Structure 1
Amino acid sequence: MKTEFDMVIVGGGPIGIACGLEAKKNGLNYLILEKGPIVNSLFHYPSNMQFFSSSEKLEIDEIPFISNEAKPKRDEALEYYRRIVTSNKLNIHLFEKVENVQKNENVFTIVSDKATYTSKQVVISTGFYDLPNLLNVPGENLEKVVHYYDNPHYYSGQKVAVIGASNSAIDAALECWRKGAEVSLIIRGSEVGQRVKYWVRPDIINRIEEGSIKAYYNTTIKSISKDHINLTAKGEDIAIENDFVLALTGYKPNFKFLEKLGVNTSNDEKKLPEYNPDTMETNVAGLYLAGVICGGMETHKWFIENSRIHAKMIVKNIISSAITTS
């Protein structure tokens, strides 16, 4: 098995795949390492999820993405990206987790749970879906509390508290209610998030106004017990009966991994990583960022459609740098 490369890409999501395609087209010796299946994060999205973006905006390398509706579903995206990987015979190792990356002089050593590789350049394209934003309240570790949601059938006939005001929380609240759950929606702010999909936001507001879904605005979670969830709403303590808690409060990049690699991040709450926006190279020479991870905690700033260009930027810089030093 070959272990020396021009470029190792950590993360086999859509942007990591785009980087692999670009590397292959330009004759670079590359490897993609993905800790799960192809597009692991998308695979763990809710089974009924529909993208906000239309299919052409999710395309990479100008490969057409044909979907039944203008905005594709999760399974259509899985099929699209899988076919790109298999049809182009991309060099990707699945179910191989990167545990460490170190730079010695001008060469990176990449250690996975299966092998060790060396590479002149490394691209980090790991997204942000692996680490949920925790509530940090007593009872969060109970089995009834989950930070990822898949299918509403599981919650039919149950009392479900959905925490959050963005797309994932609102989708889950509506789906669970439509499958027969008694849904309480816990929102920290004063309204349903403004970035909720435009065809979904009126739906949830109507369900709240008619009383089908009980919404608690300006509310925080005090604690979670086996049979209740304890809230503070507008200064008043409330306990509501509860079977399951869907804490869909967002996710964040693995900042510890970036810091271990030597990537600087801003000192404010945004934790923006340092990189050159023209080349995507970080403050560590030869180490690049691609995709959502570029936004730090601002995970709503980067999407497939506006970060797929990172692949071309990175490979162009690698090639031009090689020409300059040769």
Structure 2
Amino acid sequence: MIESINFKEDLLHWYYENKRQMPWRETTNPYYIWLSEVMLQQTQVNTVKPYYNAFIKAFPTIEDLSNAKEEEVLKYWEGLGYYSRVRNFHEAVKEVHESYNGVVPTDPTEFKHLKGVGPYTNAAVMSIVHNHPLPAVDGNVLRVWSRLTSNYADIQLQKTKKTFEEELMPYVQTNSGDFNQAMMELGATVCTPKNPICLFCPVQTHCEAFHQGVVTELPVKKKKIKKKTVNYVVLYITNKNGEVLVRKRSAKLLHNMWEFPMFEHDESIHSIEEELDAVIDIESEPEFTTKHVFTHMTWNMEVYRAYTQKNSFKAPYRWISKQQKDQLSFSTSMSKIFSKMNR
């Protein structure tokens, strides 16, 4: 724990004077603040802003979102990635609508039992909305606190996060929401992963890593596990009407989103035709190659133009016009492919 009693005062003074303008900081609506925290997981603020504004315009109340179909909700999330976030949020909002009369629980012990609400989301929402004394420890806070205390523990270990939460507990007994946001703001704008702006840090005098000259050595992270790479052939199949063949995914990754037929690279044209139960005329050379990087996996994709005379396909396949593409939810990688194939 940092000894100086002025640490929190210095941090909050800086935060009140310098905090960035964000739409979710201009509301006390717990549904909106909860939504913002879900969107901000693994995603930058500038990316989130337009999605947040569009989402609350489409689903301004818990009842509106609760009554919406998953396909429609996914459409408003398209491009943000990590789609399990919005599926869990949608399910949790339905539970709030059905079991809590549309009112987000004010008790952290109740709120944390909603689908997708982990320790961080629980602490962030409950402290910001209701000032509950809970430290919200995300990646920014882990980095800031490891430097402030010159702690060389691996921040990717759960026990390190637990230790940091315990050490931060005294600081959230009052003004918890502001303190949590100030710590996150400091990490996002000053105490950044690379090239931290130590000379302008409002709590520099309290930072042990700065005084020891070891800021760039912290935080400590274990080596990442090597990502799996999968090579795919993606078929952009059209018919005589200019329609495009798509299918709905059943796999857990990007579940229920739409994609162009894709098969692992070592599969033959015969197995592909057998899968589709159709004769497919595929161009001999790929139109282009692309890749999409997930947190745990990389897709390398060769995209081919193809044609078939078959008029109809059974689910999960279907023909769509190019205009209908915007009515369905596609992943970022598939949307990029669509754009390139229609230049």
Question: Under a length normalisation based on structure 1, what TM-score does the superposition of the two structures give?
Answer: 0.24
Which one has a larger percent strand, Structure 1 or Structure 2? Answer: 1
Which one has a larger percent helix, Structure 1 or Structure 2? Answer: 2
Q: Which has the larger radius of gyration?
A: 2
Could you say which structure has the greater relative contact order, defined with CA pairs below 8 angstroms and 6 or more residues apart? 1
